[in-house]
Amino acid sequence: MVRLRWPHPNVVSVTSDSTIPVKIDDFYPVVPAGGVGSRLWPLSRPDRPKFLIDLLDTGSTLIQDTVARLAPLGSELMVVTGERHAPAVAEQLPALGARDIVTEPSPRDSMAAIALAAALIEHRHGDQIMGSFAADHVIPDAEAFRAVVATAVAAARTGKVVTIGIEPTEPSSAFGYIEAGAELDGTPGAFAVEAFTEKPDEDTAREMLATGRYSWNAGMFVVSTSVLLGHLARLQPTLESGVRALAAAWDGDGRADALAEIWPTLTKIAIDHAIAEPVAAEGGVAMVPGSFAWHDVGDFDSLAALLTPAEDGAVRIGRDAAVSLVDAPGAVIVGGSKPVAVVGIADAVVVDTDEALLVLGRAASQRVKDVNL
Amino acid sequence: MVRLRWPHPNVVSVTSDSTIPVKIDDFYPVVPAGGVGSRLWPLSRPDRPKFLIDLLDTGSTLIQDTVARLAPLGSELMVVTGERHAPAVAEQLPALGARDIVTEPSPRDSMAAIALAAALIEHRHGDQIMGSFAADHVIPDAEAFRAVVATAVAAARTGKVVTIGIEPTEPSSAFGYIEAGAELDGTPGAFAVEAFTEKPDEDTAREMLATGRYSWNAGMFVVSTSVLLGHLARLQPTLESGVRALAAAWDGDGRADALAEIWPTLTKIAIDHAIAEPVAAEGGVAMVPGSFAWHDVGDFDSLAALLTPAEDGAVRIGRDAAVSLVDAPGAVIVGGSKPVAVVGIADAVVVDTDEALLVLGRAASQRVKDVNL
């Protein structure tokens, strides 16, 4: 059996304009924008989630970057977000119309959000290939990303649920993994998915990487709306009927009543458990490998790793004010308008916002979610 | 030869009101108020030196505590400070009159400040026993302190320069030491001083402590103005004549002219080198031992050691806002009105003022003076 090996020979290499995909007529990008990013507190907060932040200090927010990366592929684009954040999303994305921002009255996990998007797209446009991509991931090479998405769209035309598998660069315990099988006949660059696995421990991840068959699961799904809603009708029928009823009422006068009646009844479940895992077990999921750099900037450690330290050794994010370091290698200084000194602590992360101050040992970055303020 | 041994049998024990000294008619306390306290930045700053701060969060500043501790012993009291801080000193000590606050146009080290005080006191009142005590030391037991000062005043009447030696509680390398000889005839509780030593390293300090003859030099001097100025006339004659000329002009119209002419000519020297060391070598210095607790709160480590942690383990100084600790034992949180979280760093000191933010590993407290902002 032919199996995937990293680096994969089919991985797209962008060397000339001819390889850059242009608009795909029936492709419809969807960006679910949810989650707080609680390990990036106090930069992120419930009222200022990670996707609304200029996390890399580049002048644009993560959702702006995500939409800019996807927009060239489709004619339209849909963002699904919570009521609380819809005004900020609209403000940050002025090119989107009111129809393009789908507002959830309350969070009901990723399957409800993506299924509602699928039902709305199909109701408005008929069967389309939709692609769902999180609003808060960092992918510096947009062209390489779009080339992989184009391959995934081609695979989705065969009726598969297609996921994009990220080439692992380390045995991370922070991500779930996708186990690939043989390359699919007739769809070059797409592989059967044997299984999805939960986040492993680092030793297990190392063993998995040694096989050459595992990629990171970045939660990217490309699938036709009819295939997605068809699986949903079998596996989560109340969800399927619920989102179809919502979609039918959405663009008319009945939206508010339908939401009030139906939304609270929708099953709270992640797309991984509702669709990806059971359909993979049936042989219905394919994976397209992506070798582009991909970052789920989950905490201050991974954020700092993406940035270049200044001459004094400190990484600065969103800060112009003075920094003085005394025996403080590896400092990371985020925000704040006052001078900051760090003395006698290695790998200190100092995050100063208008609302709160965080002083963190970089190795403990995951524990920021335990702060109780 | 009888030598001092710690704990000293003559150490004053305050057990009843009868042992508490009352006002001593010819005793004149002097408080030189200088020095920034650069290791307590940004709590202390050049425009807000240590002595003007409520360092222990008790509701009174160090100079207020110092003056309150000394005031019962004398009829008057004199503070010598720099021009920049005289307004704040006057504001913090409303009981002092304009004559009681002596303002230096520029810092010329401790001998000029103390000699000017001696000359002014003698010019105004004739020969007095003066006692000089730094404005920024912490002595919780004021009564025990005053009892030792009373013993020192009695010893000063014999014509000695008298210092108060603090019983060492550890082999500190942060202080100079006083080596004691035999107890003096006729002045119970006072000992000859063999020598003053500079700050030793810790091993040397340990050997010194083992002899039982060494006490900490806290820079406290009790001496009659005539004896002090007499030594000065021999050892630093231009300083002596300079401060006498300043004193003669001080309370009349000629002060500004005299200061402009004389002040810049005064020798810049510490009282230790100008008087204490050479006079000790001649046998003219006595030491009265003090067993009261004494703290030269020089840095955040020693400051935190004086305070009791809250239930969560963090020492708080000048702060009411919320603190959240995650794997952060031994935290010290100073000032600031925003919530603070410390995650994954032990013994972190966080000092948040309006002007700057310091994040410090407590063991590196001495290095705060190297901050360059």
Instruction: For chain A, give percent helix, strand, coil, nearest 5.
Output: 35, 25, 40
Answer whether A343 sits within 8 Å of B370, measured CB to CB. Answer: yes
**DSSP structure class, residue A67:** H
**H-helix or E-strand containing B286?**
strand B285-290
Rounded Cα distance between B292 and B168, Å, is 10
**pLDDT at position A37:** 84
Answer whether B345 sits within 8 Å of A360, measured CB to CB. Answer: yes
**pLDDT at position B16:** 40
Do residues B198 and B211 touch, judged by C-beta distance below 8 A?
A: no
Chain A residues within 8 A of B360 when measuring between CB atoms: 341-345
> Is the pLDDT at B165 greater than 90, yes or no?
yes
Q: Which amino acid is at B263?
A: W
Mean pLDDT of chain A: 93
Rounded Cα distance between B304 and A297, Å, is 37
| CB within 8 Å of B114: residues ≥ 6 apart | B30, B32, B80, B132, B221, B228, B271
**pLDDT at position B13:** 41
Q: Are strands B27-33 and A191-197 parallel, antiparallel or unpaired?
A: unpaired
b/e sequence A10-21, b meaning 16+ C-beta within 10 Å: bbbebeeeeeeb
Please give the residue that has the higher pLDDT: either A36 or B119: B119
Q: How confident is the model at residue A97 (pLDDT cuts 50, 70, 90)?
A: very high
Q: What is the largest CA-CA distance in chain A?
A: 64
The sheet with strand B340-343 has its strands ordered as: A315-317, A332-334, A348-352, A357-361, B340-343, B323-326
Rounded Cα distance between A371 and B3, Å, is 58
Average pLDDT value for residue range A286-292: 96
Do residues B332 and B317 touch, judged by C-beta distance below 8 A?
A: yes
Do residues A24 and A73 touch, judged by C-beta distance below 8 A?
A: yes
- Structure-block tokens of residue B275: 């008087």
Q: How confident is the model at residue A36 (pLDDT cuts 50, 70, 90)?
A: confident
Go through the domains of chain B in sequence order and give each one's CATH number: 17-290 (3.90.550.10), 300-370 (no CATH)
| CB within 8 Å of A114: residues ≥ 6 apart | A30, A32, A80, A132, A221, A228, A271
Answer whether B356 sits within 8 Å of A370, measured CB to CB. Answer: no
Rounded Cα distance between A275 and A278, Å, is 6
Q: What percent of chain A has pLDDT over 70?
A: 94
Answer whether A367 sits within 8 Å of B327, measured CB to CB. Answer: yes
Distance from the B356 Cα atom to the nearest Cα atom in chain A, whole angstroms = 5
> Is the pLDDT at A233 greater than 90, yes or no?
yes
Answer whether A343 sits within 8 Å of B368, measured CB to CB. Answer: yes
Q: How confident is the model at residue B35 (pLDDT cuts 50, 70, 90)?
A: confident
Rounded Cα distance between A21 and A151, Å, is 9
Answer whether A360 sits within 8 Å of B371, measured CB to CB. Answer: no
CB-nearest partner of B324 from A338, A365, A371: A371
**pLDDT at position B7:** 55
> Distances in Å between the alpha carbon of B324 and those of A298, A361, B207, B331, B357?
21, 14, 44, 10, 18
Rounded Cα distance between B158 and A134, Å, is 86
| Site from A316, A323, A326, A343 to mutate, B interface, most B CB atoms within 10 angstroms | A343
ipTM value, please give it: 0.86
What pLDDT digit, counting tens, does each position of B96-141 carry? 999 999 999 999 999 999 999 999 999 999 999 999 999 999 999 9
- The residue in chain B having the minimum alpha-carbon distance to the alpha carbon of residue A357 is B340
Nearest-5° Cα angle at A182, A177 to A186 = 120
Do residues B195 and B211 touch, judged by C-beta distance below 8 A?
A: no
**pLDDT at position A35:** 84
CB-nearest partner of B359 from A41, A354, A359: A359
A184-188, A352-356, B86-90, B179-183: segment of lowest average pLDDT:
A184-188
**DSSP structure class, residue A273:** I
Q: Are strands B357-361 and A348-352 parallel, antiparallel or unpaired?
A: unpaired
**pLDDT at position B288:** 97
A231-235, A310-314, B171-175: segment of lowest average pLDDT:
B171-175
Answer whether A343 sits within 8 Å of B367, measured CB to CB. Answer: yes
What pLDDT digit, counting tens, does each position of B346-372 carry? 999 999 999 999 999 999 999 999 999
The residues on B that touch A, with CB distances below 8 Å, are 41-42, 322, 324, 326-327, 336, 338-345, 348, 350, 352, 354-361, 363-365, 367-368, 370-373
**pLDDT at position B4:** 58
